Amino acid sequence: MDIREFDPGQGRYRFTVHDIDTAYHAHPAMELVIARIGTFCVETPEMQLDNLSICLIQADQPHRLSQFYGICDIWYRERGQEVWDWASAAHAPHTGTGVVAWTDMQVLDHLISQWEAPATPVSETRIVKCLELIEQSYEDPATSTASLAARLGMSPGRLSHLFKTHMGTSLRRYLVWVRLRVAIRLLLIHHYSLTEAALMAGFYDSPHFSKRFKAFLGVRPSEGYPPDSIIQASV
């Protein structure tokens, strides 16, 4: 796997993968899969789509990817609802719960232009403050929905509802996602060990990190980010 872009500031990540074969997983980011050599398969609990060239997968949609003897680009974008709305109206030949897919490349340029457009800024001040608190305290394993709600003077239920409304994913899953991306940066850029990166990112230990990594990304850390991974762009 080559890392082409890793930009938490913009919430955008891009990888090139060879012969991918994941377990079922889901994460709080929009996912765009583009075949560069060959085609690929996407499977969800409701359907299986084969021989695809492009697929857009909604945030938190459980799915697995497989491709043999080929190369794919996989892009992630946080807060990508505008992209999903455009794709859903684009009359894709294959659609289902949380998935829009094409067997050719005709829409790729238009889809990428939508993908690269800036996301609408979060306007709810309590969610902006919550995001700031997460960035300040993710390394503490005790940081949770309850602790964040207490610091904001809200009930956990009210904060969870507000967060889901404005961010498109649950606060609990978003907190895990932030810790994962921090750990990945520590592994890739600073070359910390798996245990060091996991602890510094707020996981209890390396098995806790590995379990969450596979649940969110469908592969083990050693499969997703081997030592010879290459960062080609923004880090």
State the sign of the Cα–Cα–Cα–Cα dihedral 126, 153, 150, 61: negative
The strands making up 30-37's β-sheet, listed across from edge to edge, are 2-7, 12-18, 71-77, 30-37, 54-57, 99-102, 94-96
Q: For the whole prediction, is pTM greater than 0.75?
A: yes
Q: Provide the residue type at 114 as one letter.
A: Q
Q: Which residue spans within the chain are E strands per DSSP?
A: 2-7, 12-18, 30-37, 40-43, 48-52, 54-57, 64-66, 71-77, 94-96, 99-102
Give the count of alpha carbons within 13 A of 4, CB side only.
10
Are 33 and 40 in contact, with CB atoms under 8 Å apart?
yes
Are 183 and 200 in contact, with CB atoms under 8 Å apart?
yes
Q: How far is CA 187 from the centre of its chain?
A: 17
The CA distance from 37 to 68, in Å, is 10
pLDDT tens-place values along the chain, 235 residues long: 788 888 988 899 999 999 999 999 999 999 999 999 999 999 999 999 999 999 999 999 999 999 999 999 999 999 888 899 998 887 778 888 899 999 999 999 999 999 999 888 899 999 999 999 999 999 999 999 999 999 999 999 999 999 999 999 999 999 999 999 999 889 877 889 999 999 999 999 999 999 999 999 999 887 755 544 434 433 3
139's CB contacts (< 8 A; 6+ apart) are 182, 200, 201, 202
The CA distance from 161 to 180, in Å, is 23
